[in-house]
Structure 1
Amino acid sequence: MNRIFASLAFLVVVGFQSCTNTTEKPETNTPAPIGPKDIILTSDLMTPEVLWSMGRIGETALSPDKKTILFGLTYYDLEQNKGNSEFYTIPAEGGAMVRLTSTTSGEYNPRWRPDGKKIGFMSAESGSMQLWEMNQDGTGRIKISEVEGGINGFCYAPDQSKIAYIADVKTNQTVADIYPDLPKSSGRVMNDLMYRHWDHWVDSYSHVFVADYNGETLLNAKDVLANEPYETPLAPFGGMEQITWTPDSKGVVYTCRKKTGKEYSFSTNSDIYLYEIATGKTKNLTEGMMGYDVAPVISPDGRFMAWESMERDGFEADKVRLYVLELKSRMRTNYTLKFDQDAHGLAWSDDSKSVYFISNWHALDQIYKLEMASNSIRKITEGVHDYTSVIPAGDRLIGTKMSMSMPTEIFSINESDGSQTQLTFVNKPIFDQLALGKVEERWVETTDHKQMLTWVIYPPHFDPSKKYPTLLYCQGGPQSTVSQFWSYRWNFQMMAANGYIIVAPNRRGLPGFGKEWNEQISGDYGGQNMKDYLSAIDAVAKEPYVNADKLGAVGASYGGFSVYWLAGNHNKRFKAFIAHDGMFNLESQYLETEEMWFVDWDLGGNFWDKGNKIAQNSYANSPHKFIEKWDTPIMVVHSELDYRIVASQGMQAFNAAVIKGIPAEYLYFPDENHWVLKPQNGVLWQRRFYNWLDKWLK
């Protein structure tokens, strides 16, 4: 057995099997498709290997008759160091899961054909990602598209006569284009900003195409953004939720930020456009609206368009408003004017009179409903959880939800009383064998006498008569709520299983607690939010079961910045730090990152404008300015493909610690971005994480 698997805390008993009948297959040289395994644990404590053995529910789609839920389910294999997504169905009223596919190439982007007779999906079975179809039971697979370079997403026209798909289009000249006699040159020539984004160099843009569809193949494909150097959906995270059809199949509505270079880099001003197929003309439906305008959804009767809208250009964490446009009159209405929360994941009711959406309040993501006639908003669900999507399904709603104690599962929701019924139990066989830590909600008083929600997670088999090492979790974003999320890296139950109490405060600068709380952090890095962190850990450290001499602080991104800042300002509270992909030198960060709008807004501007008091305060709080006060062991994690916060930030921090004689460790990934996504890298991350903490806190 490979050494990397020597510490497995579980035993694979049966191996691959489906959720229906298992059939014996002859041995071949081709590995079996990665899928669920029967797992027997040798301990009731979670390990990295157990975490990576869990199935992960992906995108869901409801059949046109609203009777069947189609969804993707991904499993990972450590030895192969990759994952595989397969399709399953389950009755909307509840019942057994049925596995539809079992391939080594995987299936993605599940879509029911409008007539309900076929399922469309993407697969790389032919060598590139193409559109395929199959029968409702998974039989009869046929390839529909043959797009050079492959596609990245698609959706059917409601009348089934056409298909819209997205594909990358080369628009930038390469060195080989300029100098054909230098085809092997690796050089790049740049004359403007946004030459790289997130984790890749920008050589192409995603465009939306419209093609005729005859039930067998795609014909007469047309690039909606022909010769335009713009992208749809928005990079790096936008998907097909940013593109939709009009109900009459005569138009495609898409999200786009029609800017390039420096202008693009400093702006969040995206708009929603309507492309009319018959005329080839494009109209800007959100012209004059200056922030992010994304994710359009058209009402079933074709009268209205709802979308997610931010007000201010350059502020990526602005309030997400629910806007509705009456398409004929072009009248726009902000239905969340008096609703001090964000609205995400919009979905129309069948009668076109209401919009369902997800919103966070006090670190819980719930399902809400807007009634347009009365301009009223009602919360439908209650509970300690995060809903991540909602689909109207006749007399019920279908939603996906998770919590700090449960990965994503599919639920049915009774709209009238808010009751929720779990439909999938993907990881129940594993969780039946695990002991989980208690998750407790606390409200801590801050230094300015406000109340701050703080999650406290206790180790499994917690004994209040003992003393436990305790971790302060510093959230990234920075404007990202410490809600009931389940993470496959920053997993609170994993931390607890290693014998730690976790303190996870919703410090200043997070949504879900009103506009003022969310926006306070901009221009105040190193200010009140740092005091909030210390208020949380100081309050919990008073408990008799907390070993106040064994405190650590951990975090990623802005959480990594927080750790670096605390390392120079903690007054010897902590005995160990871990910073992942954190900002260490804010002056370098301003000139190294790709999305300039973020640093320009949140730091208040550039560092050479000496008359800008807000900006100068931000740079005065750069963690590298406090190196002389560093005195505590620190582990630094960073990845080469992180272009949001580049790897040199982590190298600077690690080098500084070593030069000062402080115990330090640098975990570097040459092939990861801001996140660690490859299975073996993920397990390595977990092992070194706890190796470092155990060394200094136990």
Structure 2
Amino acid sequence: MTSSAPAPADPSREPAPSPFHRLADFVAIPRIGALALSPDGRLAVSLVTLDREGKKWQSALWELDAEGRRPARRLTRSAPGESSPAWAPDGSLLFTSARPDPGTAPADEPKPSLWRLPADGGEARPVLSRPGGIGSFAVAAGSGDVVVVSSTLPGGSEPAADEERRKARADAGVTAILHEAYPVRHWDHDLGPAAPHVFWAGRLPADEDPAGPVAVELRDLTPDALPPNGSGEEVALSPDGSLLARAEEVPDGPAGRRSRLVLTDTATGGTRVLVDDPLADVYGAAFSPDGSRLVCVRESLSTYADPPDYTLLLVDVADGTARELTPDVDRWPSAPQFSADGTAVYYQADEQGRHAVFRVPVDGGEPVRLTGDGAYSSLQVARDGSALFALRSAYDSPSVPVRLDPTAEMQDPVPLPSPATVADLPGTLQEFTTTAADGAQVQSWLVLPEGASAGNPAPLVLWVHGGPLMSWNSWSWRWCPWVLAARGYAVLLPNPALSQGFGLDFVRRGWGEWGEAPYTDLMAAVDAAEQRPEIDGTRTAAMGGSFGGYMANWIATQTDRFKAIVTHASLWNLEGFLGTTDAAYYWEKEWGDPLTDPKRYEQNSPHRFADAIRTPMLVIHGDKDYRVPIGEGLALWYALQKRGVPSKFLYFPDENHWVLTPGNSQVWYEAVLAFLAEHVLGEEWQRPALL
């Protein structure tokens, strides 16, 4: 029996108003990564897209026209993907990839190797590999010499020996690690038994035989291995390749760490300490065009009384003498690099809810802010000094490549043709400032959904940023307010006490007192938002991750004004957290020893006020989160269940501090939206289909 009636339309196949209205469309939006500039002015960018099966993101490299005339052109294509592009002086493009080497037998677990795409095009070829893979690399701007960083087991750095030791452990079924110093983990991975080594490759040979292998012998510049702290991959080469600068971790007290700057002669392997400040971390080195100086970041070590402070150091390579470039700047500079002629240094810093580009003369003078709105990253300086290139994002724009004038102040950049853009947003972005209880000015971003008005006010969701020493200033795929705006929510993104970009005193207001000024600042911002006619103050929720998760928990213990609270990767018991996080010494500087100075733990730990919680809570945590270990989420979940608080626990066995896979990212948003719909909108609970 047949019917002539048309089949019902599949709603999932109908065009959505924007890619934020349907989560499958949202996770499939292409995302731009690192930017690289060649000596002759060519640009390359990595682009992350969803694979055909929709199970993972993969990266490819694209070439951009620096003049903005031609559309972007794809350069690489493989299932494992390519990342970390860097141009060599000869015009070839180097990158890392776990794609199989066509000249060897397939590996059970392919490791990232260094590959090269010839300057005149053609097929990319593998250049360097190590049993532990290639973690990162650096190229000398003038000579083209190359160093790579690779994880290597103790007992020698020859590839055959390293491979033999790896095989012996695997064959014996040994996964144990013996630690003799703190720490033991970093973010989402165990430290040891392998440690990062820096290997000298020198100048890569020419591709004389396109079909044959490239023979490169690696020499270990760090035979004693870098300390196993998880941050030993930051290296820089002088333009002529003769010197390697790197941040080296050294002990700071019985279980603490700090970093100093060391120089290695790449010809002899001899290493000397260049900058060693017992009261600061020193890192982020970049050489001047003539190699005689370098610029780096000095971050003062925090104490119980004071947060860290940052400045830039100009260092003479010959004798290590240093002076501050930004001594009177009440902002925190990062990612410094020299101008093409070496007379100035460009850097980036948070500034009033933006992440701006600055220029400071090396012979003294006040920094000049080059950019207005937006958050900039991957800054590149043209070899002839004619332009700067960067990625620019904002809360109303994901990262896009742009060109900047190297001297103009407060400029709007020139956008370049990009392989990824987002045309339509389901709402508008606004900015406002409110006065906190102590008179401080608190800046906030507010996303308003389409159609929000006095006659149709939107429910409000407060989002608290992580860090805590950061600020809402750039696009986020993990915490994207437009996904909520597409469902009719307004999203408030405040920068309370402890946020950077507003001066050291603004950070100091919340230092060691997370439950005080940060909390009252947030409530002042919510009060101001709820007074707007487009906002329905009777339907509000709060969310946060990491420090934002801590604040979500603290809010739950201090007020019942919110209909629902979502807490992700959150701190619950500060004393318990201190003993299990991956860098306990960092947090103990601020909070003190809980055995001898328990005051800040007693006053600011949410778990001590669990009996006050009345608000329904969604707890989210990943088991591979070593920064805020899973025990925090489990303890919070038990406390809520024990007290009969309406609550749910979204658990990711294989995710870390973030949620990084497309499928899990999608169900994260699904669960959050369902929880908010139930408690804020009064809808019936709809369990996500795959949960």
Say whether the fold is shared (TM-score over 0.5): yes
- Give the RMSD, CA atoms, in angstroms: 2.6
Question: What SS does the corresponding residue of 2:272 show, helix, strand or coil?
Answer: strand
Match of 1:248 among 236, 240, 245: 240
For the residue of structure 1 that corresponds to 2:218, the secondary structure is: strand
Alignment of 1:165-180 (within 5 A): 165-171=148-154
Deviations 1:646-671 (A, max 9, x none): 11111111121112111111000010
Amino acid in the other structure paired with 1:243? V
Q: What does residue 130 of structure 2 align with?
A: 147
Q: In structure 2, the residue corresponding to 1:51 is in which secondary structure?
A: helix
Q: 2:479 aligns with which of 490, 494, 498?
A: 490
Q: Which residue of 1 aligns with 2:62?
A: 88
How far the C-alpha of 1:372 sits from its partner, in A, is 1.8
For 1:93-132, list aligned pairs within 5 A: 93-95=67-69, 96-116=71-91, 118-126=92-100, 127-132=110-115
Residues 262, 273 of structure 2: 8 Å contact kept: yes
Deviations 1:376-408 (A, max 9, x none): 21111112x111232122322111110111110
Q: 1:223 aligns with which of 220, 224, 227?
A: 220
Matches within 5 A, 1:521-560: 521-560=510-549
Distance, in Å, in 2 between the alignment partners of 1:371 and 1:568 is 49
The question of whether the paired residues in 2 share the 8 Å contact of 1:317 and 1:479 is answered with: no
Contact residue 59 and residue 72 of structure 1 kept, 8 A: yes
Contact 1:211 1:218 in 2 (8 A): no
Amino acid at match of 1:591: G
Deviation at 1:62, TM superposition (A): 0.9
**Aligned residue identity for 1:422:** P
Q: Are 2:297 and 1:292 aligned? A: no
Cα shift at 1:102: 1.8
1:682 matched to 2:659: no
Q: Aligned in 2, Cα 1:214/1:302: closer, same or farther, shift over 3 Å?
A: same
SS at match of 2:427: coil
Deviation by residue 1:649-696 (Cα, 9 ceiling, x = unmatched): 111111211121111110000101100001100000000011001110
Please report how far the alpha carbon of residue 162 of structure 1 lies from its aligned counterpart in structure 2 after TM superposition. 3.5
1:465 deviation in Å? 1.5
Asked whether 1:195 is paired with 2:192, we answer no
Q: Displacement, 1:317?
A: 6.3
CA displacement at 1:184 relative to structure 2: 3.2
Aligned to 1:653: 636
Identical positions, percent: 25
1:402 counterpart residue number: 393
Q: CA deviation at 1:319?
A: 2.4
Whether the 8 Å contact between 1:254 and 1:273 is mirrored in structure 2 is yes
Q: Deviation digits for residues 516-567 of structure 1, max 9, x if unmatched?
A: 1113322112111111111111222223332222111100011111111111
Deviates more, 1:356-365 or 1:458-467: 458-467
Match of 2:349 in 1: 359
* Corresponding residue SS for 1:568: helix
Provide the rounded CA distance (Å) in 2 between the counterparts of 1:590 and 1:410: 40
User: Residue 64 of structure 1 aligns with which residue?
Assistant: 39
- CA distance in 2 between counterparts of 1:171 and 1:653 reads 40
Give 5+ residue unaligned stretches, structure 1: 1-5, 12-39
Q: Which amino acid aligns with 2:632?
A: Q
Deviation by residue 1:353-387 (Cα, 9 ceiling, x = unmatched): 0111111110111111011234221111112x111
TM-score by length of 2: 0.88
Give the total of aligned pairs.
Answer: 642
Whole-Å separation in 1 of the counterparts to 2:19 and 2:172: 57
Is the deviation greater in 495-504 or in 299-308?
495-504
Structure 1 CA distance for aligned equivalents of residues 13 and 481 of structure 2: 20
C-alpha distance after superposition, 1:25-70 (max 9, x if no partner): xxxxxxxxxxxxxxx546575332222111111111111112x111
Cross-structure match for 1:35: none
Q: 1:641 & 1:172 partners in 2: Cα distance?
A: 29
In the alignment, which residue of structure 2 is the partner of 1:16?
Answer: none
2:569 maps to 1:581: yes
Out of 116, 138, 160, which is 1:133 matched to? 116
- Residues 9, 49 of structure 1: 8 Å contact kept: no
Aligned to 1:520: 509
* Closer/same/farther in 2, CA of residues 692 and 77 from structure 1, 3 Å limit: farther
Contact (CA 8 Å) 1:111, 1:121: kept in 2 or not?
A: yes
For the 8 Å contact 1:556–1:582, the answer to whether it is kept is yes
Q: Per-residue CA shift, 1:106-140, capped at 9, x if unaligned?
A: 11221111122x21111212232111112235413
Conserved 8 A contact 1:443-1:453: yes
Q: Could you tell me how far apart the structure 1 residues matched to 2:521 and 2:18 are?
A: 37
2:302·2:590 contact (CA, 8 Å) conserved in 1?
A: no
Q: Secondary structure at the match of 1:293?
A: strand
Any idea what the Cα deviations from partners look like across 1:128-182, whole Å, max 9, x if unmatched?
Answer: 21111122354132221232232112223345463200000123999x99x9999
Deviations 1:487-537 (A, max 9, x none): 112111222222111122110001101011113322112111111111111
How far 1:410 moved relative to its partner? Answer: 0.3
CA separation in 2, counterparts of 1:696 and 1:135?
A: 57
Deviates more, 1:335-344 or 1:684-693: 335-344
Q: Following the alignment from structure 1 to structure 2, what is the Cα–Cα distance between the partners of residues 123 and 506?
A: 38
Is the 8 Å Cα contact of residues 18 and 426 (structure 2) preserved in structure 1? no
> Following the alignment from structure 1 to structure 2, what is the Cα–Cα distance between the partners of residues 675 and 230?
26
Q: Which amino acid in the other structure matches residue 51 of structure 1? A: F
Aligned to 2:432, which of 417, 442, 461? 442
Amino acid at match of 1:668: Y
Which residue of 1 is the match for residue 579 of structure 2? 591
Query: TM-score, normalization: structure 1?
Result: 0.87
Distance in 2, Cα, partners of 1:530 & 1:419: 35
- Structure 2 residue 485 is matched with structure 1 residue 511: no
CA separation of 1:161 and 1:490: change in aligned 2, threshold 3 A: closer
Which whole-Å CA distance do the structure 2 matches of 1:45 and 1:104 have between them?
A: 27
Q: Given the superposition, is the C-alpha separation of residues 78 and 673 from structure 1 closer, same or farther in structure 2, using an over 3 Å criterion? A: farther
- State the distance in 2 between where 1:8 and 1:196 align: 46
Q: Does 1:501 align with 2:490?
A: yes
Structure 1 residue 285, shift from structure 2 partner: 0.8
- For 1:124, give the aligned amino acid: A
2:595 paired with 1:608:
yes
What whole-Å deviation, never above 9, does each CA across 1:539-598 have from its counterpart, x for those lacking one? 22223332222111100011111111111111x211100000000111111111120123
Structure 2 residue runs of 5 or longer lacking an equivalent are 1-8, 101-109, 157-161, 208-213, 682-691
